[in-house]
């Protein structure tokens, strides 16, 4: 029985899953120790079959396991365009902040002169 295929099958069926749940699944289904399951997961990450997703908004942060499947070209294009637009907006905002800081500094110098 190929544990990696089983983990991929599990993730396809249930989607992103807590790392601890995958470890428990391997322990119950295949009688693997938590240490051995962590090793299996790590090897799958190295091979590029799965990847870690850290959900930082939880307290404490949780690590999830997700399939590593390539994004369709349409989605990649949309994400790239959105990234470019956000970068331009950030640059514009920084320019406005820099100009405001320069004006404020000039006014402070004029006031103290």
pLDDT 10s digits, 22-49 = 999 988 988 999 999 999 999 999 998 8
Q: Which CATH class is domain 3-67?
A: mainly alpha
Q: How many residues does the chain have?
A: 113
* Strand locations in 1-113 (E): 17-18, 50-55, 62-67
Percent pLDDT > 90 in the chain is: 35
Domain extent listing, the chain: 3-67, 70-113
pTM above the 0.95 mark? Answer: no
Tokens matching residue 95: 């320019």
Q: Judge residue 31's burial from the number of C-beta atoms within 10 Å of its C-beta, 0-12 exposed, 13-18 middle, 19 or more buried.
A: exposed
């Amino acid at each position: 029985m190929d544990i990696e295929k089983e983990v991929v099958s599990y993730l396809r069926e249930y989607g992103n899953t807590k790392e601890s749940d995958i470890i428990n699944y391997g322990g119950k289904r295949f009688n693997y120790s938590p240490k051995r399951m962590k090793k299996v997961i790590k090897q799958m990450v190295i091979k590029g079959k799965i990847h870690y997703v850290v959900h930082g908004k939880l307290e404490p942060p949780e690590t999830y396991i997700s399939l590593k499947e390539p994004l369709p070209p349409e989605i990649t294009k949309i994400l790239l365009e959105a990234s470019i637009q956000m970068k331009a907006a950030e640059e514009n905002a920084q320019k406005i902040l820099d100009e405001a800081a320069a004006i404020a500094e000039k006014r402070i110098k004029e006031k103290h002169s």
